[in-house]
Structure 1
Amino acid sequence: MEPEWISFDEAKAQTEAKRRHLLLGNGFSISKHRSFAYDRLYDEAVRGDAALEPLFAGHGTNFEAALEAAESAEDRIRIRKGLVAAIGRVHPRRGFLSPADCESCGQFLEAFAGRVREPRRGRVFTTNYDLFLYWVLMQRQTRLKLYDGFDNDGIWHEGLLDTTFVFYLHGALHHFEENIGRLKPIMRQYKLLWQEGLDLPRQVRLHIARGNFPVFVSEGTSAEKRHSIRANPYLRKVNKRFAKHLDDPEAALFTVGHSLSKVDEHITDAIGAGTAAVYIGVYKPLDGGARANELAAAWAEKRKCAGQPPLYLRLFNTAECPIWAPDGVLQPRRGGRDV
Structure 2
Amino acid sequence: MLVISFADAILDSARYTRRHLLLGNGFSIACRADIFHYGSLFAQADFSDVPEVRAVFKGLETQDFEVAIRALEGALRILPAYVADSAAPQAMMARHAEALKDILVQTIAANHPAIPGDIPDEKFWACRKFLSNFLAPQQGQVFSLNYDLLLYWTLMHEDKPFEGPIQLNKNDGFGNSEGDPLADYVVWQGEVGAHSASVHFLHGALHLFDSGSELKKYTWVRKGIPLIQQARAAIATNAFPLFVAEGTNIQKKNKIRHNAYLYQGFKQLTANAETIKHCFFIFGHSLAQNDDHILHRLARGRFAHLYVGIYGDPLAFDNTRIMRRALGDRLITSQPDAN
TM-score range (shorter-chain normalised) is 0.7 to 0.9
Shift of 1:203: 0.9
Among candidates 136, 150, 155, match of residue 187 of structure 2: 155
Among candidates 169, 182, 193, match of residue 219 of structure 2: 193
Partner of 2:168: 144
Cα contact 1:260–1:267 (8 A) shared by 2: no
Cα contact 1:24–1:257 (8 A) shared by 2: yes
Distance in 2, matches of 1:276 and 1:73, equals 42
Aligned residue for 1:110, secondary structure, equals: helix
Cα contact 1:283–1:317 (8 A) shared by 2: yes
Shift of 1:293: 2.8
C-alpha RMSD over aligned residues: 1.9
Aligned residue for 2:330, secondary structure, equals: strand
Cα contact 1:129–1:173 (8 A) shared by 2: yes
Partner of 1:277: 305
Partner of 1:305: none
Q: Which runs of 4+ in 1 moved over 6 A?
A: none
Aligned residue for 1:167, secondary structure, equals: strand
Structure 1 vs Structure 2: percent identity of aligned residues? Answer: 35
Aligned residue for 2:200, secondary structure, equals: strand
1:37 aligned to 2:59?
A: no
C-alpha change, 1:84 and 1:313, in structure 2 (3 Å) is same
Among candidates 84, 93, 113, match of residue 92 of structure 1: 113
Shift of 1:140: 4.8
Shift of 1:215: 0.6
TM-score (norm 1): 0.82
Shift of 1:49: 4.6
Cα contact 1:114–1:146 (8 A) shared by 2: no
Q: How do 1:101-180 residues align onto structure 2 when only pairs under 5 Å count?
A: 101-115=123-137, 118=138, 121-140=139-158, 143-152=167-176, 153-157=185-189, 158-180=191-213
Among candidates 302, 314, 324, match of residue 331 of structure 2: 314
Partner of 2:15: 17
Report how many aligned residue pairs link the two structures: 296
Distance in 1, matches of 2:278 and 2:45, equals 40
List gaps (5 residues or longer) in structure 2: 77-92, 160-165, 177-184
Distance in 2, matches of 1:227 and 1:218, equals 12
Q: Which moved more, 1:80-89 or 1:44-53?
A: 44-53
C-alpha change, 1:140 and 1:20, in structure 2 (3 Å) is farther
Amino acid at match of 2:54: E
Q: How do 1:221-232 residues align onto structure 2 when only pairs under 5 Å count?
A: 221-232=248-259
Distance in 1, matches of 2:48 and 2:277, equals 48
List gaps (5 residues or longer) in structure 1: 181-187, 301-311, 325-339
1:295 aligned to 2:295?
A: no
C-alpha change, 1:90 and 1:48, in structure 2 (3 Å) is farther
TM-score (norm 2): 0.82
Shift of 1:190: 1.3
Amino acid at match of 1:265: D
C-alpha change, 1:172 and 1:48, in structure 2 (3 Å) is farther
